[in-house]
């Protein structure tokens, strides 16, 4: 039997999440939008406390406990479903602040997906320490955006010292500054750097390396000034002969074309995180739609559900169409995270949910601005900010165009070389 109601643990947290979103995020949204790169310490410290107490709020879900008694009822895993719900509600509050949530971001998700048990223990256990910890994924380069085979950052093994030497420059690194820059309020963070161990091998030579804060030769070169999500830092990171231990590599240290522990293993990160990014985008879109419906209600405009479309006003049709887009995107997300929870291959569904959320988020927030006219364009309200914030969903963690390619390849059973 298929049920569309949220599981009780998820439903029970809704009130708390909404309170956080309204009291700690919405009330500060405009301030942090206008004070780019200022760190929301109160929010970060509060969420770290919550995460330590409950385990919620991390992109790395807690491992399911094994049922020792076979007679006890087994509960379906809901780790990623829980994270999607958290992402949607906190992004409804403020997506930039949500991206400042400590406790395991994309770098941690890569360690979770492709790391050894020892690596997971070493790097992921620090998220439950006394202080917040940040991590980041470093993939994009000036000459290698969507085409990962074009990555030029190199990792050369120094056999005498049993360590890797990394050289290159990474751009658009979300939370890169908080992950690397010393801060008395944060504990030691890390980044996961994508580099090639053999430039001639293409994707087969790509590997991910965990680089800890404080590593000599690693520096934050600059911070981007952005259209939206201004509370979240986006950094350029330079690596100049940055030395990391041999066991910092995620996956095999040799070139193996079909290695599940190499490029393919690390890429599994995105199958888990793309639906969560999509959920955040839907949270922004819902914020815009809720604003529209609230202002219409204040003006005495009623949305008459159930009427034939030809009997509705144009504004009623527009709002209902926005709701249809929002709910259809959310169902795709729920399917993708349900598959992740149940350890089913979800590469197709993850990319589909990301494509849909990126498209829907942009369309809904743009339409909301149009419908509200001066209210939508005014800085007296947050609607114009949500319009700016929404576009990132279509860009980071694989652009809409790239994810459409992923979907097409999955459906048509084509390799990347066959469909570009």
Which one is catalytic: 38, 212, 397, 418? 397
Q: What is the DSSP string of 366-407?
A: HHHHHHHTHHHH-TTSSHHHHHHHHGGGGTSSS-HHHHHHHH
Q: How long a stretch of residues is the chain?
A: 420
Determine the straight-line distance between the first and last CA of the chain, rounded to whole angstroms. 40
Is residue 264 helix, strand or coil? helix
**Would you state the structure tokens that stand for residue 221, as one six-digit string?**
């070169």
Indicate if 23 belongs to the active site: no
Tokens 């020892």, located at residue:
118
Q: Comparing C-alpha atoms, which of 365, 354, 360, 368 is closest to residue 388?
A: 365
Cα–Cα separations (whole angstroms), residue 315 to 292, 312, 383: 10, 8, 18
Read off the DSSP letter of residue 22.
Answer: I
CB 61, CB 205: distance < 8 Å: no
Enzyme catalytic residues: 397
């Amino acid at each position: 039997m298929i049920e569309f109601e949220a599981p009780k643990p998820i439903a029970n947290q809704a009130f708390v999440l909404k309170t956080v979103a309204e009291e700690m995020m919405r009330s500060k949204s405009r301030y942090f939008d206008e004070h780019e790169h200022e760190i929301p310490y109160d929010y970060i410290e509060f969420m770290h406390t919550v995460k330590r107490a409950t385990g919620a709020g991390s992109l790395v879900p807690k491992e399911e406990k094994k049922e020792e008694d076979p007679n006890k009822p087994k509960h379906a895993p809901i780790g990623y479903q829980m994270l999607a719900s958290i992402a949607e509600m906190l992004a409804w509050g403020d997506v930039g602040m949500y991206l400042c949530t400590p406790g395991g971001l994309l770098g941690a998700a890569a360690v979770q997906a492709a790391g050894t048990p020892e690596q997971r223990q070493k790097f992921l256990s620090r998220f439950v320490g006394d202080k917040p910890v940040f991590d980041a994924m470093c993939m994009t380069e000036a000459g290698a955006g969507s085409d990962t085979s074009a990555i030029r950052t190199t990792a050369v093994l120094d056999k005498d010292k049993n360590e890797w030497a990394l050289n290159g420059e990474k751009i658009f690194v979300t939370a890169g500054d908080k992950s690397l820059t010393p801060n008395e309020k944060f504990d030691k963070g890390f980044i996961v750097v994508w580099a090639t161990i053999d430039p001639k091998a293409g994707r087969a030579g790509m590997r991910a390396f965990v680089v800890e804060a404080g590593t000599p030769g690693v520096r934050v070169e600059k911070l981007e000034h952005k259209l939206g999500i201004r509370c979240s830092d986006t950094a350029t990171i330079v690596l100049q002969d940055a030395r990391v231990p041999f066991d910092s590599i995620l996956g095999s240290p040799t070139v193996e074309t079909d290695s599940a522990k190499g490029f393919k293993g690390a890429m599994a990160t995105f199958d888990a995180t793309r639906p969560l990014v999509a959920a955040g985008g839907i949270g922004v879109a819902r914020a815009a739609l809720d604003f529209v419906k609230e202002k219409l209600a204040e003006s005495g405009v009623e949305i008459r559900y159930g009427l034939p479309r030809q009997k509705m006003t144009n504004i009623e049709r527009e709002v209902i169409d926005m709701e249809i887009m929002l709910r259809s995107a959310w169902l795709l997300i729920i399917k993708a995270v349900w598959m992740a929870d149940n350890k089913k291959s979800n590469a197709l569904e993850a990319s589909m949910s990301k494509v849909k959320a990126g498209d829907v988020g942009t369309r809904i927030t743009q339409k909301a601005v149009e419908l509200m006219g001066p209210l939508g364009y005014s800085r007296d309200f947050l609607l114009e900010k949500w319009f700016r914030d929404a576009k990132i969903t279509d860009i980071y963690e694989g652009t809409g165009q790239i994810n459409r390619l992923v979907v097409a390849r999955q459906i048509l059973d084509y390799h990347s070389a066959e469909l570009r």
